[in-house]
Amino acid sequence: PTVDLTASKTFQVQDVELEIQGSEGTFPVNQDAAKSDRFTGSANFNWTVFDGFGMFISRDRLTELESQGLLDKKVTVENTIAAIYNAYYQTVLEQDRLAVLKETVEISNARLSLAQSRYEVGKGSKLDYLAAQVDYNTDRSNVLRQEELLNNAKIDLNVLLSRESSTLFNVSGQIDINSDLQLEPLLQKVSTLNPALLSVISDQNVAFLEYKELIAERYPTIGIGLSYDRGSSNNDAGQLRSSVTSGVTYGFSASWNIFDGFNRKREIQNAKVRREITQLEKDALELSLQGEVNKAYVNYANNLQLIDLEKSNVEVALENEQIALDRYELGAGTALELREAQRNAVDSQNRLLDAQLVAKLAEIELLRLSGSILTNVNLE
């Protein structure tokens, strides 16, 4: 029901010329600038008691729209959370790469010092000394470039966290991966928890309720009404100098549109088409999400295998690097052998870091697609 209160107060100033018929004849009434005022006030109650159940359908549609808005908000939140996690782990990767390059600089510095000492005492060639300088400077240059990449990654993370891009911070820990994710449970969660898909399903429900609203308009509308009115007036001129009225009015109303040029029929047909479109959109999105989950899971599983392989490679490469350094210090190995061992060590560690990052990003994507990112991902 609706309840409305209205009130008004009006004033008039008029020149009046009247002829009033009385028992003794007609007599004139003339008055300049005659004043009058009028007050009206009312309280009105109206209630539509039947409209083909359209009012209840409208309530359900508005409730569904509210739910859809919350789902759209959740999509934005989850996408933002995923972007923050991706930026965080990218920063961890760049920091770990920097640590690898700094270790390489230390080895190159030791090689340079040894090559310089040998050259100065006549036991080594100037060629080896200069080559050691070039390699050392190359490694330092790589460190500077990596520091730039790390700084850029931190800026990206600051922006996503809505703070000053120049805010200083350090990331700790390593890239830990949950290796227990299974494909089938993830696919099932997509159909029940993915907020983007649920939003499309909600839109489908809205389209159905809009269709039902149009069907309800075919029925008659019945309403009841009750009003209380009060009015008063005052006049300087005329027979009626003042009056006060008040009272109650009540009744019912009914209306039924029996022809509107087939407009409603066209609207119902359009609503049916919209329902079909939302069904197609829902089916297409569900297939697309399942495809994305399958691709992300293949990426996730393959990189888990690569991590195991690259861990073994890193152990071998680091051991080979240490042996090459020891041989070079003893004069049994060449600078070329040591440099090649350094490259292999750096490459193997970077491949391991890349596999860890790709697997972690695939894990985050799987959790986002399955609607589980807010309950399953943390930075600890």
Confidence bin at 190 (pLDDT 50/70/90): very high
Q: Is there a domain that residue 24 lies in?
A: no
Residue 268 CA to residue 270 CA, distance in Å, equals: 5
Centroid of chain to Cα 91: 23
Do 172 and 141 meet the contact criterion of CB atoms below 8 Å apart?
no
350 close to 142: Cβ distance less than 8 angstroms: no
Domain-embedded: residue 327: yes
Q: In what order do the strands lie in the sheet containing 25-50? A: 2-22, 25-50, 221-235, 242-255
**Confidence at residue 24, expressed as pLDDT on a 0 to 100 scale:** 65
pLDDT confidence of residue 15:
64
Average pLDDT on 187-211 reads: 94
Task: Look at residue 158 and tell me if it is in a domain.
Answer: yes
pLDDT digits (tens, 9 = 90+) for 72-104: 999 999 999 999 999 999 999 999 999 999 999
Which tokens belong to 86? 């991706």
- Bridge partners of residue 37, in order along the sequence: 11, 234
Band of the pLDDT at 287, cuts 50, 70, 90? Answer: very high
Give Cα 19 to chain centroid, integer Å.
78
Q: Classify residue 236: in a domain, yes or no.
A: no
Give CA–CA dist 177/357, Å, rounded.
Answer: 9
377 has pLDDT over 60: no
Tens digit of each residue's pLDDT (9 = 90 or more) over 120-149: 888 878 888 899 999 999 999 999 999 999
Residue 243 maps to a domain: no
In this predicted structure, what is the pLDDT of residue 27?
58
Backbone angles phi, psi at 238, to 5 degrees: 115, 170
**pLDDT by residue (tens digit) across 315-356?**
999 999 999 999 988 888 888 899 999 999 999 999 999 999
**128 or 237: which carries more pLDDT confidence?**
128
- CA-closest candidate to residue 369, choices 281, 300, 310, 304: 300
Parent domain of 103: 2-6+42-230+248-373
User: Phi and psi of 83, rounded to 5°?
Assistant: -65, -40
- Does residue 237 lie within any of the structural domains? no
Q: Which runs of consecutive H residues, i.e. helices, occur in the chain? A: 54-120, 126-160, 183-193, 195-216, 263-330, 335-369, 373-376
Model pLDDT, residue 79: 95
pLDDT for 379 equals: 47
pLDDT value at residue 92: 95
Are residues 199 and 72 in contact, defined by beta-carbon separation less than 8 angstroms? yes
For residue 18, being part of any structural domain is answered with no
In this structure, what CATH number is given to the domain that contains residue 272?
A: 1.20.1600.10
pLDDT band at 21 (very low <50, low <70, confident <90, very high): low
pLDDT at 29: 63
30 pLDDT band, cuts 50/70/90, is: low
Neighbours of 221 (CB within 10 A): 17
379 within some domain = no
Q: What local confidence, expressed as pLDDT, does residue 147 receive?
A: 96
pLDDT at 20: 63
The pTM score is: 0.81
What is the mean pLDDT of the segment spanning 355-366? Answer: 96
pLDDT value of position 376: 74
Span of 92-101, 182-191, 241-250 with lowest mean pLDDT: 241-250
What's the structural domain count of the chain?
1
